[in-house]
A and B are shown apart, each in its own frame.
Chain A
């Protein structure tokens, strides 16, 4: 079978729609689509609800061993010695592995030092506890302020902090001169961890010099490349499989120690090895969202124009990673300056977490906007309308604010602080988001067989976004047959290359290739059917699984019989013209604050979000619900807490690392703004950006107290209320 992908002449404009993209363009309203933009049930729903969906954690291979990592309990230490002798002799142990050398430094609690493989998980755990590591503890820092203090000794190889670029525009001095009101305040958000329900890990099995790895990953192809590199073996010898995964949120985009360790142990033992992290390890060493501090001085003119913005920002991404975020976020300050400092602390490294940087920048900016609005005595939405970028298809906040205000009953919002009598105060807040999305990496292959079966292959991943259904749905819609007749195969490096499912780029990355491949497959199919039946292919159509035209009507199966021995087999790569970038959205939140306890309850949320062409309304809505809830957790509950004296995490579990239960979740209303003419863009991340900010603004509206720090734990809310009463809060 040919593996020819279409060759397009290089375009002067890399976004110029290709001939294929034009030929197989998305059907736009008022054209009717059977699947696209409709609410179509997830094809893997039955597998998930019946427990037959197999995740990496569920994989059992014949003779499989269990691995367990040994990790540093210290935030910073030099490894003096790793004694594996007792572990080696422990019951059931088949291999032990030193992961670091004596003399190496561990830089955070949870840093991997060694690993063992044994015939049962209990034996592996027992053995891991017998690994005797001698450490020389070293000075450490687990607070940004400590690392930023010049008196703190150098802990990190290139210094405890790293300045970023300073960005400037306009004339800051003139801006402040023109300002009638100025706000000077510091805003901050906390470090949170991804808490993927399925932890990180892999099952690795060698067959001669070929490695098969079942990995909980957002990128099977990327993982293959990285794993091969780490093991110094040809990429061609590695197969990575991930048919189902229990969450990623950005933390599973690369092959980390959790993947390489079982590969090495499997090589040592000659048997398959499974390593899955436990919950504590997940909190310590599989990524997090960096903290973000913004010291802002901002000015607004008497008539409500944002005119000056001067910010110094900093944050920590752990022991070796940065903490950047966009600022100011969305709203336009003509004169601005922003300098940033990455701060290192002895804690696990950050990894991209759902809309990296945006929730942090959004929070600081949106709370500031409400403060500025009150100073010029303008209603918060009106104030925002005055300072938004010009309306454009990818900048629709003005319209969404107006739609949302009506739907939410925004006119019932009282003035800031006038939350009513009694201890229960209600308030409303708003916030906006933007996100790039887009995506240019995805190849697809489609086969139509003589028995009527159809398979679409794409080496992409489904982290719960519904990609499998998107893959099948686009193909089925293009062909004109029901979704149930199309099998979608994903999650395997044996399938055509696709990029990492990250940045909300997967759908835009793969659907153009699937669309075009299915379109070309349909044309080729009709040509063959036409030739076999003597009907002009141009007269043939396919709809609802029936091939009609030239006076004939055939079922799909009957038509497929004409294919004989050779299936229709088409490959296509991504091509520009069916996707684009940049989305916008707004959210409204209403809260009740109990001022006698500091407890904030979210009463309801409205989310208005666009994403270009909505491929599947049911799935896209679920993404919005999911993003909103994620942001509620960020606003109210989650916090990665390190003990200030020992540097160790005090809450590496799901008891003290708080996450919402059913009763903490408010009704959420979702309004998707379908823009088919913009092509596919992406929706995974934007909905998680603004909710926390809208909640913070609602709390401010309810109580009259500006809380510029997340999370909104009761003790922090009470402290803010108390400080305000004592006149300590501007």
Chain B
């Protein structure tokens, strides 16, 4: 295949035109208990070892495949910084950074993040020193009840790592996936500008 210049290509897989049918029997669908004949290499539905790398540290969890990244981090790794609010990928409170991109951790299975770099708000401050985004949020009072704050902080950190000198439009755009009910949007925007070293207004 021809070379391409798409930066986003993760890998290139060749696709074979003819596919042999594997020797899988179609299992009878059991009511609730025993799993039907599983695909080869399948794990679960019961708990299985899942090793996650969170904030640079390994966490050896034992969880069911249906456990989301958010619940794995909060309830199994016991890192409760990121919050659960909608659990449907519609509010951003659970925003984490996985391999450099913000994701809704509630809409990600923990098991599919094995081998990836997971960063949460719990690991942002280093040796008691707040990240410049966290400092800016405090300076500008970009929080009230604080429940949306970890998500906004991570979204802002990712924004600045992606766009070190962001335009005001890029700042607003990258923070569009997060909701605040207390109404801190204006000050979150100010904090993001401050952290970016950009004039606001």
Contact = CB atoms under 8 A, between A and B. Distances in A.
> Do A's and B's CB atoms come within 8 Å in the complex?
yes
Interface of A: 41-42, 44-55, 57-58, 60, 121-122, 195-199, 244-247, 249, 278-279, 463-466, 618-619, 621-623, 625-630, 653-655, 659-663, 665, 667-668
B112 interface: no
Contacts of A44: 146
Contacts of A667: 186, 201
B90 A465 contact: no
29 contacts: A41-B139, A49-B133, A49-B153, A50-B134, A57-B80, A58-B80, A60-B75, A197-B85, A197-B93, A197-B145, A197-B181, A198-B85, A244-B145, A247-B145, A463-B145, A464-B182, A466-B144, A625-B185, A626-B144, A629-B186, A630-B181, A630-B183, A653-B90, A654-B85, A655-B90, A659-B91, A659-B181, A661-B176, A668-B186
A120 to B, nearest CB: 8
Contacts of B71: 121
Contacts of A621: 141
Contacts of A60: 75, 78, 80
Contacts of A41: 138-139, 141
A244 B172 CA distance: 28
B86 A46 contact: no
Contact of B176 (A58, A464, A662): A662
B146 A53 contact: yes
B83 A246 contact: yes
Contact of B146 (A48, A199, A661): A48
B98 to A, nearest CB: 17
* 3 A-B pairs with the lowest CB-CB distances in the bound complex, closest first: A51-B81, A464-B145, A246-B147
B122 A51 contact: yes
A49 B179 contact: no
Contacts of B130: 46, 49-50
Given A45-B138, A244-B146, A50 B121 contact: yes
A48 B182 CA distance: 14
Nearest to A687: B183
A625 B173 CA distance: 20
Among A51, A55, A246, A630, the most chain B Cβ lie within 10 Å of the Cβ of: A51
Contacts of A121: 71, 75
Interface of B: 64, 66-67, 71, 74-75, 78-88, 90-91, 93, 120-122, 124-125, 130, 133-134, 137-139, 141, 143-150, 153, 172-173, 175-189, 201
A383 to B, nearest CB: 30
Contacts, number: 171
A50 B79 CA distance: 11
B147 A247 contact: yes
B142 to A, nearest CB: 8
A653 B88 contact: yes
A667 B201 CA distance: 9
Contacts of B189: 662, 665
B144 A45 contact: no
Contacts of B141: 41-42, 45, 618-619, 621-622
Contact of B88 (A57, A196, A246, A655): A655
Contact of B90 (A45, A55, A654): A654
Contacts of B182: 247, 464, 626
A49 B177 contact: no
A551 B74 CA distance: 57
Contacts of B124: 50-51
Contacts of A662: 172, 175-176, 178, 185, 188-189
Contacts of B173: 663
Given A121-B71, A245-B145, A246-B147, A625 B79 contact: no
Contacts of B188: 662
A49 B134 contact: yes
B143 A654 contact: no
